Amino acid sequence: MAKEEGKQGITVKKSQDISEWYTQVIQKAEMVEYTGVSGCMIFRPRAYAIWEKLMAFFDKEIKKTGVQNTYFPLLIPENLLKREAEHVEGFAPEVAWVTQGGNTPLNERLAIRPTSETVMYEAFSKWIKSHRDLPLKINQWVNVIRWEFKHPVPFLRGREFLWQEGHTAFANKQEAEKEVLAILELYRQVFEENLAVPVIKGRKSENEKFAGADFSTSVETLTPSGKAVQAATSHHLGQRFAKSFNIAYLDEKGEKQHPYQNSWGFSTRSIGAMILYHGDDKGLVIPPKVAPLHVVIVPILFDDSKARVIKKAKDIADVLRSKDISVYVDDRDHYTAGWKFNEWELKGACIRVEIGPKDIEKKQAVAVRRDIGAKTFVPLDTLPEYLAEQLETMQKDMFTKAKNFLTENTVHVSTWTDFVKAIKEKKLIYAPWCCTAECAEKIKEKTEGAKCLTLPFELEHPVGDCVQCDKKAAAIALFAKSY
């Protein structure tokens, strides 16, 4: 009969120990499996399905703007990786290398791609010859490796992850800058409209920007663990890479010019932020737009009516599928209905539909939304419309709840005392800041790790002095500890 109930569920409350809760939820809900290599994990089908939904959304949007997908090699020769020295300098400790083929040492070490600027821009220098070759808009959906030394956290901080990296080149600087923000807006949509995770858009401070960029923009969020995550970044690279990789073209007048470039990316880290935001003591809660399963139908089985009830459940499922609602009829008879309820709550099916012989007599079913848990009796003839509508409402409600969490955990401070207090309380902090590297270092030291996440666009105009030192504030900055 049913498996032991105790082993099935999560044994710790999210509010008690969120990191233990997270570790249990991702394994018990079959999102990930660990491997022998620390920081490299298996994305099981339930997790990969979410990534597929995000890919489908973003891929469609970027293709509307003329971006094409490509594939560049995984291995990058050392001399190429180091061509634009400044951009790899800070990252060098995180590069993983291939040094042997079989037993033969290689003449030149090969980096396993940590990002693909170098290998792509070498090719761009062959492809961009005339102003007619611009704009060039390339993207790839690939894995990358960064040899992190901090403790890995599945999805949020790993050595291997999946991402998209977009790389574009324009004749016109304004056009390039416009794209940086257009892509940032798509990232907001990935997070807010698909994952129901609220984000804050901004521009990175000088010492937090990508070293290869003229300026970097990002979307950031604070997760319920009290740690912030950089959700995605979009950079304007100016002409720096074009100059070091000899990317040049002849303009209409026949004069040699360097294009303006951008690069932008978001990764499977997004899944981690979504899990942390929405999950509860029973397990995963997944917003319908990215959920691997919208509706699970659990037929209530008795020997004498079993066949009839399963048949009815399958008929309902067919109608739902025709309306683009993903559905699974859980007619496994070696589990009790109660066990199945727990399992689907753990795995985050959006809505559970229960139907038994008595319900069929009354021409109704029971529907239970995963995020609010309330039971509703629904007439069978309006069930498909009801479920479709509930999935939409659920998506909106989940975002509203997440946004309220973010608002409630955001503070505006102007004194150092309030800043320290807010960091202890794991808040997201807006504070006037001088934006200097020395001050960033001081803040990190004094708070054991807090940093400026971004300079939010909505609040670019500071007043008064820096929250930490006695210099004039240059911006209102967003601070928190982060992953």
CB-CB contact of 124 with 169 (8 Å): yes
216: helix, strand or coil: strand
DSSP string, 376-390: EEEEGGGHHHHHHHH
- In sequence order, the 6+-apart residues with CB closer than 8 A to the CB of 230 are 218, 219, 220, 453, 482
Torsion, Cα of 203, 209, 213, 219 (10° steps) = -40
Alpha carbons 294 and 80: distance in angstroms, whole number: 47
Which structure tokens are listed for 78?
């050392």
Listed ranges 261-269, 309-317, 346-354, 447-455: which one lies at the site for ligand 87F (CB under 6 A): 261-269
DSSP string, 70-95: ----SEEEHHHHTSSHHHHHTTGGG-
Beta strand residue intervals within 53-180, DSSP E: 68-69, 75-77, 97-101, 104-112, 136-145, 160-170
For the four alpha carbons of 59, 244, 237 and 430, in that order, the dihedral sign comes to: positive
* Contact call for residue 369 and ligand 87F (CB under 6 A): no
Listed ranges 83-91, 96-104, 133-141, 475-483: which one lies at the site for ligand 87F (CB under 6 A): 83-91
Which structure tokens are listed for 378?
């629904």
Binding positions for ligand 87F, 214-233, rule CB under 6 A:
233
> Which residue, 88 or 480, has its beta carbon nearer to ligand 87F?
88
Contact with ligand 87F (CB under 6 A): which of 264, 344, 419, 479? Answer: 264
Name beta bridge partners: 165: 140, 265
CB of 206 to ligand 87F, least distance (A): 16
Binding positions for ligand 87F, 156-185, rule CB under 6 A:
165
**Residue owning tokens 């040492």:** 105
CB-CB contact of 18 with 225 (8 Å): yes
Contact with ligand 87F (CB under 6 A): which of 87, 137, 352, 481? Answer: 87
Contact with ligand 87F (CB under 6 A): which of 34, 48, 72, 91? Answer: 91
Listed ranges 62-70, 111-119, 328-336, 365-373: which one lies at the site for ligand 87F (CB under 6 A): 111-119
Closest CA to 47 of 281, 274, 228: 274
> Which residue, 210 or 277, has its beta carbon nearer to ligand 87F?
210
> Which residue, 117 or 280, has its beta carbon nearer to ligand 87F?
117
Question: Which residue is at the shortest CB distance from ligand 87F?
Answer: 265
* Contact call for residue 261 and ligand 87F (CB under 6 A): no
Contact with ligand 87F (CB under 6 A): which of 76, 95, 169, 275? Answer: 95
Alpha carbons 249 and 35: distance in angstroms, whole number: 47
> Which residue, 34 or 91, has its beta carbon nearer to ligand 87F?
91
Listed ranges 109-117, 148-156, 171-179, 440-448: which one lies at the site for ligand 87F (CB under 6 A): 109-117
Binding positions for ligand 87F, 286-305, rule CB under 6 A:
none
CB of 478 to ligand 87F, least distance (A): 18
E strand or H helix at 445: helix 437-447
* Contact call for residue 88 and ligand 87F (CB under 6 A): yes
Contact with ligand 87F (CB under 6 A): which of 47, 115, 157, 428? Answer: 115
Alpha carbons 30 and 287: distance in angstroms, whole number: 17
Torsion, Cα of 369, 372, 378, 382 (10° steps) = -60
CB-CB contact of 87 with 210 (8 Å): yes
Tally of residues, the chain:
483
Q: How many CB atoms lie within 10 A of CB 366?
A: 16
> Which residue, 181 or 459, has its beta carbon nearer to ligand 87F?
181
CB of 218 to ligand 87F, least distance (A): 9
The site for ligand 87F, by CB under 6 A, has a size of 15
Contact with ligand 87F (CB under 6 A): which of 94, 122, 331, 465? Answer: 94
> Which residue, 53 or 209, has its beta carbon nearer to ligand 87F?
209
- In sequence order, the 6+-apart residues with CB closer than 8 A to the CB of 104 are none
> Which residue, 114 or 288, has its beta carbon nearer to ligand 87F?
114
Listed ranges 87-95, 289-297, 432-440, 445-453: which one lies at the site for ligand 87F (CB under 6 A): 87-95
* Contact call for residue 240 and ligand 87F (CB under 6 A): no
Site string for ligand 87F, 133-152 (x = CB under 6 A): -------------x------
CB of 365 to ligand 87F, least distance (A): 47
* Contact call for residue 265 and ligand 87F (CB under 6 A): yes
Binding positions for ligand 87F, 194-213, rule CB under 6 A:
210
Sheet with 260-267: list strands edge to edge. 68-69, 136-145, 160-170, 260-267, 228-238, 215-222, 200-203, 451-456, 475-480, 428-433, 410-412
Contacts to ligand 87F by CB under 6 A: 87-88, 91, 94-95, 114-115, 117, 146, 165, 210, 233, 263-265
